[in-house]
Amino acid sequence: MTQQADAQDQIARGGAGDGKYVYDRWMEAQGVPVHRGYFIEDLKTIEVAPWGERECDAAFVQLSGMEGVAEARITEIAPKASVPPMRFALDEVIYTVSGWGIATVWAEGVAKHSFEFGPRSLFLIPRGSYRQFANARGDQPLRLLHNNYLPVAMSLEPDPGFYFNNSYAHPELLQPKGDDLYAVAKRAPAMGRGATWYGNFFTDMGAWEDLVPHRARGGGGHVVDVSFPNSQMGGHMSVFPPGTYKKGHRHGPGRVIVIPAGEGYSIMWPEGGEKIVAPWHEGSMFTPPDRWFHQHFNVSVTPARYLALAPLPQFSGWSEDVEDRARNQIEYPAEELWIREKFEEELGKHGLKSLMPAEAYENLDYKWGYGEGEESGANIGARASGK
């Protein structure tokens, strides 16, 4: 057996007890960069390299907390270029890191669906579908972030050929009843927390509105849930005001968190362990490792947004709706003083002031007001800057 054939055999059989998942060995065999660590400060600028098989530049992102659970992959398409059509056996969510593009999706016996997308667009390509992407601009690259559950799937069936260009199709997923397959998502009030948007296409997550108060997490924030038709993939987006921060909480692994707008940082730590500070702005990405506490801080003059793409439900662990506050959420009066001191220090570097109410640090059950007279993001931003 040749060295190359032996390597492929190791990938297919699951390796030789080196502690790596099947997906890890396949990923590392592709010959493109693999970015690791706890966070990526800017997906727009991380290194990519030619991926001959896909005829584009690419890179994998595997942060601590993603291993064996979720794939994150960058595709970069040159100006005016397109990539060859490819069929993939799993649902895949795609977020536009930068640029403008055209996606075409189809299956045998089903007419092609083409739609345009731009920066911060979010959409799903249904399992078993062909997909082809083209850069709609001639003056800049198009960079996409792909998210799917391939690491889990390859632990069950390790042959990559089972997932790429598999002839099994789901044409029914490309023939929706009613509206067009890639019409803009619509609100589904009966689902989730009351602000679930349902569909295959979200035009711009940096401007998406119509959210509901997210009282449990504090900080005066709002939330919207993201649900895709006929798929277990989904997630949520949280928006919270300047000069505030969310309560520390923890849950299971595999959430791919991307920043559509705002500037700030997140702190992540295992119970009793060292704290990791992850700075972020538009285009940043991070993943809280399994059962690590984490908190999000807004140090900009506008509301901050983070989009959390969820793992399979069985990996959620403690859910986003924390039921046991004593174990899984840290209320403001119980947090370390260092948390507050660092926040005020970071705000000071930007010439801003904290808008956290003093009562929030004293009253375990303090409730933010969400009345009709609530200030707009612009007014809150002006007050944070002392204007």
Tokens read off for 126: 């249904």
| Mean predicted confidence (pLDDT) in 334-360 | 96
In percent, the amount of the chain with pLDDT more than 90 equals 76
Using the structure block, give the residue that is written with the tokens 């009030």: 189
Closest CA to 130 of 73, 69, 174: 174
- Whole-angstrom Cα distance, residue 287 to residue 5? 34
Look at residue 86 and tell me whether its pLDDT is greater than 90: yes
- Whole-angstrom Cα distance, residue 332 to residue 340? 9
Using the structure block, give the residue that is written with the tokens 């619509």: 186
If phi over 0 gives left and psi between -120 and 50 gives alpha, with beta otherwise, what is residue 92?
Answer: beta
Strands (E), 21-100: 34-35, 39-40, 49-51, 56-61, 71-77, 86-88, 92-98
pLDDT of amino acid 379: 34
Look at residue 192 and tell me whether its pLDDT is greater than 90: no
User: Who has greater pLDDT, 70 or 195?
Assistant: 70
Reported confidence tier of residue 385, pLDDT bands at 50, 70, 90 = very low
Eight-class DSSP state of 203:
S
pLDDT of amino acid 104: 97
Look at residue 322 and tell me whether its pLDDT is greater than 50: no
Reported confidence tier of residue 54, pLDDT bands at 50, 70, 90 = very high
Reported confidence tier of residue 8, pLDDT bands at 50, 70, 90 = low
Q: How many CB atoms lie within 10 A of CB 307?
A: 24
| Mean predicted confidence (pLDDT) in 314-335 | 72
pLDDT of amino acid 216: 84
Contact 103/123 with Cβ under 8 angstroms?
A: yes
Look at residue 383 and tell me whether its pLDDT is greater than 90: no
pLDDT of amino acid 17: 61
Sign, CA torsion 166/70/312/259 = negative
263-311 confidence digits (pLDDT tens): 999 999 999 999 999 999 999 999 999 999 999 999 999 999 999 999 9
Closest CA to 286 of 264, 316, 318: 264
pLDDT of amino acid 206: 96
138-164 confidence digits (pLDDT tens): 999 999 999 999 999 999 999 999 999
Q: Report DSSP letters for 257-306, one per residue.
A: EEEEE--EEEEEE-TTS--EEEEE-TT-EE-PPTT-EEEEEE-SSS-EEE
- Whole-angstrom Cα distance, residue 249 to residue 269? 10
pLDDT of amino acid 323: 52
pLDDT of amino acid 326: 67
Backbone angles phi, psi at 56, to 5 degrees: -155, 175
**Domain boundary assignment for the chain:** 3-168, 191-384
CATH 3.20.20.300 fits 191-384, yes or no: no
- Whole-angstrom Cα distance, residue 252 to residue 68? 13
- Whole-angstrom Cα distance, residue 341 to residue 336? 9
**Of the spans 184-188, 193-197, 282-286, 321-325, which averages the highest pLDDT?**
282-286
Look at residue 378 and tell me whether its pLDDT is greater than 50: no
Q: What is the pTM of this model?
A: 0.90
Using the structure block, give the residue that is written with the tokens 């649900």: 227
CA angle in degrees (0–180, nearest 5) for 320-323-326: 110
Reported confidence tier of residue 45, pLDDT bands at 50, 70, 90 = very high
In CATH terms, are 3-168 and 191-384 the same topology?
yes
Q: How many CB atoms lie within 10 A of CB 325?
A: 14
Contact 246/218 with Cβ under 8 angstroms?
A: yes
- Whole-angstrom Cα distance, residue 387 to residue 162? 59
Going edge to edge, which strands form the sheet with 293-298?
276-280, 264-269, 293-298, 248-249, 329-330
Q: Specify burial of residue 193 (Cβ count, 10 A radius: 0-12, 13-18, 19+).
A: middle
- Architecture of the domain whose range is 3-168: Sandwich (2.60)
